[in-house]
Structure 1
Amino acid sequence: MVKVRIAPSPTGYLHVGTARTALYNFLFARKHNGKFVLRIEDTDVKRSTEEMVNVILDSLTWLGLKWDEGPFFQSDNLKRYQEIAKKILEDGKAYYCYCTQEEIEERKRIYQKTGKVWKYDRRCLHLKKEEKERFEREGRKKAIRFIIPEGKTSFHDLIHGEIEMNNSEIEDFVIMKSDGFPSYNFAVVVDDHDMGITHVIRGDDHIPNTPKQILLYDALSWDKPEFAHLPLILGEDRSKLSKRHGVVAVSYYRDEGILSEAFVNFLALLGWSPKDEREFFTMDELIREFDIKNVGKRGAVFDIKKLLWMNSEYIRKLSIEELMERIEPYLIKSELIMKDYDKGYLKNVLTMMKERLQTLRDLEKIGYYFFKDDYKYEGIEKILYEGIYENLSYYLKRIELIDEWRKDIIEKDLRIFCDEKGISTKKIIHPVRIAITGITFGPGLFEIMEILGKENVIKRVRRFLEFLKGG
């Protein structure tokens, strides 16, 4: 049975690259009726936090990536790592290293002056018995290093094909650190073996680690999983995506109003090419269509503009009722509505604004005036003209007399008023728009006036007149 895993480290938020890797593992498992395992690699004790564990779990849940087993924590498995490291030692395939970091750095500095590339010089492999006994008496901390055999190590990558490395390029790497915790390359081999992982699907920045891990599998006479190394996600400058390109945490995009199904769809296309030119997929369609063989070797650019476009398309597909349900938490959190808000009013607002939304947070920015009237007047210099105060004052008296507050009646009355005054409609429409919204753009003015209601419109126009009078 196919069994894959995602193994994030709780030293930070779930990175979009890790999320894409998790998605591909999930799709691969579901495609082949396999298992998707969640493992938390928390052996970096100083930097790992419970808060980040919860953020990672929440992010995976938001993406809809339901794991079948776990979460398992590496920190719960220390005894097993020590047991396997002891076996490798007893088999003569590893040795204790008493070198301090300072000693290694000094030898490295001197060696590099020759222009050669440093790798650990096996000093502790050749220690005499007396030296070992002295270090033990001194209470020196010791790590365990794995002995790299001569020869070459190769493997078949499901994406990149055959990959080979000369073992001479690999140093005797640490498998157990002097603090008693395992190194990354050692822990993942033990975990993947014990969990029965059949396919390791991860970023191609791990390709250099794979020969080391294969050597450990061989040393332990364990069956090796298959490997597939995914292309990196790139920033717009085509370098590896990082914080300097913008926010890279999955939770940020959730908090900014990206729909989970849009984000999953977007991530799926960062490296994988469907057989046709389709761009929109449900999760079930992704499971059905996904094929690891159609994942490319070249990095894919994280295009925020495309993400926003895709998200806007998903928003348009929502019914007004679905959109209300999805947007409500954002509006409550931003204190634009209360928990007992007028659902009919919000429904009217969303019916008007739905086509303009790229995210669930956009209404807070471009539709703030539907909920609050403490806005500033932006772009007011564009609508000022001589006589604006008098014209708007007369128009205010006019709208106070409107009995049936409907957009068609409001529009007809305004046009009649402008004809009677001998002024162009823009001399009333533009000032009224900025008076009741604070901005110079947006949906149709008369639709906005109808939704806001007569009382609110009158109050806001009066406030604007006070502003003009005071200015």
Structure 2
Amino acid sequence: MTVRTRFAPSPTGYLHVGGARTALFSWAFARHHGGTFVLRIEDTDLERSTPEAVQAILDGMNWLGLQHDEGPFYQMQRMERYRAVLAEMLANGTAYHCYSSPEEVEAMRERQRAAGEKPRYDGTWRPETGKTLPAIPADRQPVIRFKNPLEGDVSWNDVVKGQITINNRELDDLVIARPDGTPTYNFCVAVDDWDMQITHVIRGDDHVNNTPRQINILNALGVTLPQYGHVPMILGTDGQKLSKRRDAVSVMDYFDKGYLPEAMLNYLARLGWSHGDDEIFSMEQMCSWFDLTHLSGSAAQFNPEKLAWINNHYIKAADNQRLADLVRPQMLKDGAEFAGAPDLAAVIALFKERANTAVELGQAAMLFYRQPAAEQALLQQHVTDAVLPALRQYAEACKTVEWNKVALSVALKQVLADHGLKMPQLAMPLRLLLTGQLQTPSIDAVVELFGREVVLQRLNVIAG
């Protein structure tokens, strides 16, 4: 058997981190088995589905690097196929026309609620042997309902949750086509999984209630069932379902916040799956390890601090030029001036050890790409008459010293020795004059990156 998995989002917004995790698990399982990963866009909800949302999903998948092997397939482009299957089901008696109006269906459900029963369609238009159906109302377009089995159970061995059994009496005759003929969600999903030969359906456990309906439709079509696995949802730090109001839930929010895709994938993989105690691993490693036996049946909790720690690991390992290219656009928006300034990749190397995100990295690097603007009070506190002679001697040394970190450090230490000063007494005023701030990487590294011309220009203000 060739493994075939799918990711089938509805394009009603952005790519949610929960959806991204589902896509990752489906993608990794297909890669582990040398199978096929299918992308399907379930866009039959015409009121909520938008081209912008489709693009947002594609952008999120592309950023994460979860490349599909087939697709994207769009349900709205498969209407002829759905109509053909509906016609077959009407012909063979596994589906039927129902002329009950929405008001009549709601009235029957109200009666059932009042009687303490589970509200469901009562089968008024369900054809049965010896049953006389009502007269067809004039000028009323029917829906098509699936003729759900009345007896027995729907049972499947969920690869995450174990054996799940639902009695068919808990399920009513599902509407599978609306009055205008457009098919409904569960029907389309069942036909798609059949046509696309999906062998494993990995999805969120909010779909558990859909699964028995889809199984019954597939059984009525006489086709082989996929294996199902329903992963629990991801909770926020408060233990509640992730909410756009409280949490960053769109994958591309994390792109905007400066997270690297490999960090995001690594973190999402650990939300509901594990490989021993491994915390940091590549996607190649994950694909070699991934199976469905280590998926957790418990809800995972999103931990921003853990994600930041993982992102810091990947930032430290990332190529400096790649990071420079990543932060440059935002730095330009923030007013960075790159003409005549140090090489950005070299500056990135100074800051990457301590940066948790690319946004932090770009903000830290800005000190090399803007004019210094130290507060007057800080200048008065640190650039004192007592330290001015030492500053001037260092400025003079900078005119002729060999321009590298080692030589600049030796010159700095010589000035300290000549004036009986400690490093902070000279480094602090140098930082203020060169960058406008007190916190920077090592002063000799900062001086080296600025270059001789800029350093002499900015130290010229203390010339005696």
Alignment TM-score > 0.5, same fold: yes
Under TM normalisation by the shorter chain, which class is it?
A: 0.7 to 0.9
Deviation, 1:17, is 1.3
Deviation, 1:367, is 2.5
**Given that residues 369 and 375 in structure 1 are in contact (C-alpha distance below 8 angstroms), is that contact kept between their aligned partners in structure 2?**
no
Mean CA deviation greater in 142-151 or 401-410: 401-410
Counterpart Cα distance in 1 of 2:291 and 2:83: 38
**Given that residues 332 and 339 in structure 1 are in contact (C-alpha distance below 8 angstroms), is that contact kept between their aligned partners in structure 2?**
no
2:160 maps to 159
SS of the residue 2:343 aligns to: helix
Counterpart Cα distance in 1 of 2:230 and 2:109: 31
Deviation, 1:205, is 1.5
User: Which of 421, 446, 449 is the aligned partner of 1:448?
Assistant: 446
CA 1:172–1:386: 2 relative to 1, 3 Å: same
Deviation, 1:241, is 2.4
2:55 maps to 54
Counterpart Cα distance in 2 of 1:100 and 1:395: 91
2:284 maps to 284
Deviation, 1:399, is 4.5
Q: In the alignment, does 2:132 pair up with 1:132?
A: no
Query: Structure 1 vs Structure 2: percent identity of aligned residues?
Result: 38
User: Which of 322, 326, 331 is the aligned partner of 1:325?
Assistant: 322
1:74 maps to 75
**Given that residues 395 and 459 in structure 2 are in contact (C-alpha distance below 8 angstroms), is that contact kept between their aligned partners in structure 1?**
no
Deviation, 1:304, is 1.6
Counterpart Cα distance in 2 of 1:393 and 1:104: 89
SS of the residue 2:181 aligns to: coil
2:331 maps to 334
1:469 maps to none
1:269 maps to 270
Counterpart Cα distance in 2 of 1:34 and 1:386: 67
1:468 maps to none
Q: In the alignment, does 2:289 pair up with 1:294?
A: no
**Which amino acid in 1 is paired with 2:285?**
E
Deviation, 1:148, is 2.4
2:255 maps to 254
**Which amino acid in 2 is paired with 1:82?**
R
SS of the residue 1:148 aligns to: coil
**Given that residues 331 and 337 in structure 1 are in contact (C-alpha distance below 8 angstroms), is that contact kept between their aligned partners in structure 2?**
no
**Given that residues 391 and 428 in structure 1 are in contact (C-alpha distance below 8 angstroms), is that contact kept between their aligned partners in structure 2?**
no
> TM-score when scaled to structure 2?
0.85
**Given that residues 218 and 225 in structure 2 are in contact (C-alpha distance below 8 angstroms), is that contact kept between their aligned partners in structure 1?**
yes
**Which amino acid in 2 is paired with 1:328?**
D
**Which amino acid in 1 is paired with 2:347?**
V
Unaligned runs of 5+ in 1: 466-471
1:306 maps to 306
2:242 maps to 241
**Given that residues 78 and 181 in structure 1 are in contact (C-alpha distance below 8 angstroms), is that contact kept between their aligned partners in structure 2?**
yes
SS of the residue 1:361 aligns to: helix
CA 1:222–1:413: 2 relative to 1, 3 Å: same
**Given that residues 98 and 143 in structure 1 are in contact (C-alpha distance below 8 angstroms), is that contact kept between their aligned partners in structure 2?**
yes
Counterpart Cα distance in 1 of 2:208 and 2:146: 19
**Which amino acid in 2 is paired with 1:282?**
S
Deviation, 1:154, is 0.7
SS of the residue 2:45 aligns to: coil
Deviation, 1:251, is 1.8
**Which amino acid in 2 is paired with 1:371?**
Y
**Given that residues 95 and 145 in structure 2 are in contact (C-alpha distance below 8 angstroms), is that contact kept between their aligned partners in structure 1?**
yes
Deviation sequence 1:368-423 (CA, Å, 0-9, x none): 2111226675xx87x5876856557666645442322654146336635763xxx8
1:147 maps to 147
Counterpart Cα distance in 1 of 2:352 and 2:316: 7
SS of the residue 1:83 aligns to: helix
Q: In the alignment, does 2:83 pair up with 1:86?
A: no
Mean CA deviation greater in 109-118 or 239-248: 109-118
Aligned residues: 450
Counterpart Cα distance in 1 of 2:428 and 2:381: 14
Mean CA deviation greater in 223-232 or 44-53: 44-53
Instruction: Please show how residues 82-231 of structure 1 align to structure 2 within 5 Å.
Output: 82-101=83-102, 104-105=105-106, 108=109, 112=113, 116-125=117-126, 131-134=135-138, 137=139, 140-150=140-150, 151-231=152-232
Q: In the alignment, does 2:353 pair up with 1:355?
A: yes
1:22 maps to 23
**Which amino acid in 2 is paired with 1:401?**
E
Q: In the alignment, does 2:396 pair up with 1:401?
A: yes
SS of the residue 1:217 aligns to: helix
**Given that residues 159 and 292 in structure 1 are in contact (C-alpha distance below 8 angstroms), is that contact kept between their aligned partners in structure 2?**
yes
CA 1:409–1:337: 2 relative to 1, 3 Å: farther
Counterpart Cα distance in 2 of 1:297 and 1:461: 63
Deviation, 1:125, is 4.1
**Given that residues 11 and 47 in structure 1 are in contact (C-alpha distance below 8 angstroms), is that contact kept between their aligned partners in structure 2?**
yes
User: Which of 358, 370, 373 is the aligned partner of 1:372?
Assistant: 370
CA 1:167–1:413: 2 relative to 1, 3 Å: same
Deviation, 1:426, is 4.4
Counterpart Cα distance in 1 of 2:17 and 2:171: 30
Counterpart Cα distance in 1 of 2:289 and 2:381: 64
**Given that residues 379 and 432 in structure 2 are in contact (C-alpha distance below 8 angstroms), is that contact kept between their aligned partners in structure 1?**
no
Unaligned runs of 5+ in 2: none
CA 1:123–1:79: 2 relative to 1, 3 Å: same
Counterpart Cα distance in 1 of 2:34 and 2:347: 44
> TM-score when scaled to structure 1?
0.84
Mean CA deviation greater in 28-37 or 103-112: 103-112
CA 1:21–1:240: 2 relative to 1, 3 Å: same
Counterpart Cα distance in 2 of 1:28 and 1:46: 33
**Which amino acid in 1 is paired with 2:245?**
R
Counterpart Cα distance in 2 of 1:301 and 1:269: 10
Mean CA deviation greater in 350-359 or 303-312: 350-359
SS of the residue 1:334 aligns to: helix
Deviation sequence 1:225-246 (CA, Å, 0-9, x none): 1111122222122333232341
**Which amino acid in 2 is paired with 1:235?**
G
Counterpart Cα distance in 2 of 1:103 and 1:384: 81
RMSD of equivalent CA atoms: 3.2
**Given that residues 434 and 455 in structure 2 are in contact (C-alpha distance below 8 angstroms), is that contact kept between their aligned partners in structure 1?**
yes
Counterpart Cα distance in 2 of 1:429 and 1:50: 56
**Given that residues 4 and 198 in structure 2 are in contact (C-alpha distance below 8 angstroms), is that contact kept between their aligned partners in structure 1?**
yes
**Given that residues 388 and 427 in structure 1 are in contact (C-alpha distance below 8 angstroms), is that contact kept between their aligned partners in structure 2?**
no
**Which amino acid in 1 is paired with 2:220?**
A
CA 1:438–1:146: 2 relative to 1, 3 Å: farther
Deviation sequence 1:79-135 (CA, Å, 0-9, x none): 11122122222333333344454554565456545555422344454897664242x
**Which amino acid in 2 is paired with 1:198?**
T
**Given that residues 156 and 163 in structure 1 are in contact (C-alpha distance below 8 angstroms), is that contact kept between their aligned partners in structure 2?**
yes
